[in-house]
Amino acid sequence: MAPPRANPTHHPRLVLPLPLLLLLLIPTAAAADTALSTFSYSRHCPGLPTSPDLPAGDSLAGPALQLSTGYFSGGGERVFGPESPSQPRSFSLLPSSVVRTANASLFHVSATLTVSGGRRRFRVGLDGRNLFEYDGQARHFRPRLPRFTGRRGSITFGLEGYYSAASGDLCMVGTGSGRAADGTPVHFLPVVLRLGFPSPANLTRPFVTGRLESVDTITPIEPVSLVAYAEDGYSYAESASCPQPPAERLDELQVFEGRNFSCAHLTSMLKPPFRLDYQSGGESTASSLGLHQRYMYVNRLQCKDDGAVRAYVAFANQTDGSRYYFMLGEKAIVADGFWDRQRSRLCLRGCHVVNSGPSRADLAVGECGIGISFWFPAVWSLQKRSFAAGLVWNTSLKSGEAIAACSSAITPNYRGNLPGLRYNYTKVDEAMKYYEKSGLNKNRKGKFPDSSSYRDMVFRFFVQKGGGSGYASPITIGSMLFDGNSLVAPDTFSHHVTAGMEQRLINVSYDIYYVGNWSLESFRRRHISAEGIYDTKTGSLCMIACRELNVSSDCEILVTAQFSSLDAKVTQHVKGTMKSLRKKSDPLFFEKLDIASYGMYIDQVDESIWRMNLESTMALISMTLACIFIAVQLLHVNKVPEALPAMSITMLVILALGYMIPLVLNFEALFKNSNKQTFPLAGGGWLEVNEVMVRIITMITFLLQLRLLQLAWSARSVDVSKAESWAAEKKVLWICLPLYIIGGVITWIVHMKFNHSRRMLRQVVHIKPVGHAFWEDLVSYGGLILDGFLLPQVILNAFSDSKVRALSPGFYIGSTTIRALPHVYDVFRRQHFVPSLRPSYMYASPHDDLFSLAWDIVIPCGAILLSVVLFIQQRRGGAFFLCSKNRKTREYEMVSTVSS
């Protein structure tokens, strides 16, 4: 943005009418407001004079002033909200153009600055249909986690100004707009940005610092202090030294073996948080470095192709998602060094980061003399399964006191990239003793998960008493290593692996993540490492486990589990225990925890997907047939006109409501894609198409049913002689309405009686309680009324003693079959498919009708009985089952009214 010119061009001869002149002045005034930054640059940035831009052909590449992420403080909570530990305040500066000027050291810069505050988080509950989702990678159902949302104050500024390569100063002015954390919009906020770039950046000057100030005197915001890790023009120091690590850590993986050094690969491997372990005489070093935090983050890492590396390392007492932003942490270190290709480790020399001003963003570099080293262990064990490990030490101390902290990555996500990784079992013999003593070796019938179905050995569990839940995943089975649900096995060991898998007892190791209330500990997420044996013939798992404590670990824990048979039709496919092997007087002792896993095996998931495809097709066919049967009835009333007034209005209203209620409940889903399916399926597209088709056909069926109701109503209303039919219809209502109301009261009583049991079940499996409202049971009861849709017609025929074939056989027999088939299918489904806690039923859903072994027998028999009675009524008269004397009297009365 160039400064305003001294002689602006004008047109004195141009004369405009007054109204047109006023219209032109309005946008001109607005443009004058938006140009505030142009007129105020010289006043707010006096230290950086303006200079004309060079022609485009003479322009050379300017400095890269981009800051992808930084931290800011100030600005006020009204605009940016309170600071969140999991999502700290951040800013980014993205230059759109950097142009050389007539002044060789001055650059004309245009950029976008985005300043975002912390998010105010709100919990979003889960509804009853979305408590489980399908894990496409693990191929099993798992509970969904609660979602959080909230508003985040964010303002984007369009800025222009000048940058001095000599001093490293950047000054820009402009305006911004956005939305504050309290929800109010922010428009036309004029500001001035001043940043100081280190020129060049090095170990003692690695930060870009500055301030953002409002120049609006009407609604100003508080000054904002900015700090970021410099991303360009870094001058690396001399190579750092790499001392010899302890003997147990000599075995290191060659992560870049056979290929050149990759900065992106190294960055991804050091991204997980590291847990600090203050042991082995490192207390003196820890105190000298001022370290007492639990976790360490390599928050920013940059490097060159030749292996030069620099990093910003932050320390904190909690793990969260803030590592994706620029972290201040409770303590921080800046370091640079090199990647040692021969030893396959990273060697860095670091300095303390200190606060140099009143704001948290005022950072500077203090004393140096810190050594940092990272490597990737090649051998894992029960207590040492670190994907990445490292040391931090004070270089001024003796070599025996050099260890300040030993770090291990919490989430090993890159095992698949390290083919040389091996596992060393150390607790198998101890686990074997408890295996034989506990009776887990007793023979059981069935086939159980083994190496060929290792994904079935991954399970999510719930603690049945005391609260808690967790997730267990195998790390090794025999000599095979797993990365999540993927097998990692070198080809050279494939024969050994196959031979080991033929044994009955297999060595295994697990990673267990548990959220629960341990004795003397807070209710928070814990990591448990375990190893032991697995019996492929009985599905029994027996392991010795270690849990992490604040300064040590507790390895006196026994974990046992029994898998159900792969062909078992049960929802609880794993049950087991976690118990302490310590004495009750020990402070680390905890009561036995009974665990259970509710889910399905891989083959059962495939069967469930096949079932859902089948049910969606059956639902489509069923609704299509219902539409056809109503059309058959419409053709029937055209051929038999006397059938219309003989049809029960109550029956037609019940059928119309049966089609209308699903349409009302799914009205929104009728016009846009519903989110009812919360898991990707192989036939997911076909399921969605079927759902849409079912809704469309339901709408057509409902309209046809309304047409049938309208014809029957009109036929009675037009013909005054049909008063007897209306009288019979009233008798139908007097019988059916009390019957339906009594059924509704019984449904309410049953709902109140069993709702407590449902709540207890949810507490046992620790699913978020969802309201099982009375109306849901009422809808299911409505399905029972639909099953007996012929009852009003049978009663009407009995009172009117009509022989008119009001309903065509295709209509009432076909509709009865449609209502009975779901109950027949439910019997088949119970025998051939594994039920789950929250199954997804596309057909014969408990939300639409009453389903149980008793109802599956009673309802079809009752529907068939009504069809048989109606069939006889339409041939022998509606009151055929009444005594003959009363019938003859009615017939004589009807004949006496006919004149001879």
Task: List beta partners, residue 517.
Answer: none
Query: Cα–Cα distance between 274 and 386 in angstroms, integer?
Result: 9
Residue 837 banded pLDDT, cuts 50, 70, 90 = low
Residue 592 one-letter amino acid: K
Predicted confidence at residue 251, as pLDDT, reads 67
Phi then psi dihedrals of residue 64, to 5 deg:
-85, 105
Mean of the pLDDT values across residues 464-468?
Answer: 76
Query: Cα–Cα distance between 310 and 325 in angstroms, integer?
Result: 17
As a whole number of angstroms, the longest Cα–Cα distance in the chain is: 132
Q: Please state, rounded to an integer, the average pLDDT across all residues of the chain.
A: 77
pTM of the model: 0.67
Short-list 821, 829, 867, CA closest to 625: 821
Query: Cα–Cα distance between 268 and 39 in angstroms, integer?
Result: 46
- Please state, in angstroms and as integers, the Cα–Cα distance from residue 82 to each residue in 87, 116, 151, 211, 360, following that order: 10, 11, 11, 19, 14
Query: Cα–Cα distance between 127 and 105 in angstroms, integer?
Result: 62
Short-list 81, 86, 169, CA closest to 120: 81
Least confident of 70-74, 290-294, 675-679: 675-679
Q: Which domains are seen in the chain, by residue range?
A: 33-229 (2.40.128), 247-417 (2.40.128), 425-599 (2.40.128), 604-895 (no CATH)
Q: What is the DSSP letter of 378?
A: S
Tens digit of pLDDT for each residue in 211-261?
999 887 676 788 999 999 999 889 988 766 676 655 445 567 777 765 678
**Is there a contact between 285 and 402 (Cβ–Cβ < 8 Å)?**
yes
Tens digit of pLDDT for each residue in 840-892?
778 888 878 888 888 999 999 999 999 999 999 888 887 776 654 444 444 43
Q: Is the pLDDT reported for residue 679 higher than 80?
A: no
What burial letters (b/e) apply to 409-418, b meaning 16+ CB within 10 Å?
bbebebbeeb
Query: Cα–Cα distance between 76 and 74 in angstroms, integer?
Result: 6
Q: Report the Cα 451 to chain-centroid distance in Å.
A: 29
Mean of the pLDDT values across residues 554-559?
Answer: 94
412 against 747, higher pLDDT? 747
Q: Is 178 left (phi over 0), alpha (psi -120 to 50) or beta?
A: left
Q: Is the pLDDT reported for residue 543 higher than 90?
A: yes
Tens digit of pLDDT for each residue in 205-217?
999 999 999 887 6
Predicted confidence at residue 405, as pLDDT, reads 58
Residue 307 one-letter amino acid: G
